[in-house]
């Protein structure tokens, strides 16, 4: 059995069009299906490639402008691929007053990446976060599910090395 595939120009990955169309078909007749469909697409690709937004727009007969507006409005949707590791630096009040901005600035400088972006090698995505629930250890950052606390800016070099 062969699967219908489409080459995604932005990632060079093959895309399982059959699965995409199946998800859309299963949701098509449900009112307000756009958000659930986008969630499903993100589960498949871990982000929302533009080609997929185009297919969703055509198959659901919803203008691309509307699909794009929804995809960009909700923070849980990613329009760019995420890195292998997600680094979240807490900028909540407790962390901020203890120097979290300096931690974030050092991290971005060392990784040569902007907040919200992914390093060129695809290894790390750097995000700023609100309170991550570890105020007693402020300032903190998380790499995936691991918490690092009571940080000073120089600590980010050691932390990054753990994941290289
Ligand atoms: S403010 Fe940073 S963990 Fe709560």
Indicate the top mutation candidate among 102, 128, 131, 147 to test ligand 1's pocket, ranked by most ligand atoms within 8 A of CB: 131
Residue boundaries of the structural domains of the chain? 5-73, 85-163
Q: Looking at residue 18, what is its pLDDT?
A: 83
Tens of pLDDT along the chain (164 residues)?
333 444 444 444 455 788 888 999 999 999 999 999 999 999 988 899 999 999 999 999 999 999 999 999 998 899 988 999 999 999 999 999 999 999 999 999 999 999 999 999 999 999 999 999 999 999 999 999 999 999 999 999 999 999 98
For ligand 1, whether the C-beta of 92 sits within 6 Å is yes
For ligand 1, whether the C-beta of 89 sits within 6 Å is no
Provide the CATH topology of domain 85-163.
Answer: Glutaredoxin (3.40.30)
Coil, strand or helix: which one is 143? strand
φ, ψ of residue 25 to 5 degrees: the values are -60, -40
Q: Whose structure tokens read 């060129």?
A: 120
Q: What is the pTM of this model?
A: 0.71
CA dihedral 50, 53, 58, 62 (to 10 degrees): -130
């Amino acid at each position: 059995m062969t699967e219908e595939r489409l080459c995604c120009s932005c990632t060079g990955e093959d895309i399982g069009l059959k699965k995409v169309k199946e998800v859309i078909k299963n949701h098509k007749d449900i009112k307000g299906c756009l958000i659930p469909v986008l969630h499903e697409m993100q589960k498949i690709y871990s982000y929302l490639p533009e080609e997929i937004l185009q297919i969703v727009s055509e198959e659901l007969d919803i203008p691309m402008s509307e699909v794009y507006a929804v995809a960009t409005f909700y923070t849980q949707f990613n329009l760019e691929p995420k890195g292998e590791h997600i680094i979240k630096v807490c900028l909540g009040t407790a962390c901020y007053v203890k120097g979290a901005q300096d931690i974030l600035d050092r991290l971005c400088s060392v990784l040569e990446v902007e907040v919200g972006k992914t390093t060129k090698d695809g290894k790390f995505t750097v995000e700023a976060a609100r309170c991550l629930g570890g105020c007693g250890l402020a300032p903190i950052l998380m790499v995936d599910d691991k918490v690092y606390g009571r940080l000073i800016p120089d600590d980010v070099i050691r932390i990054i090395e753990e994941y290289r």
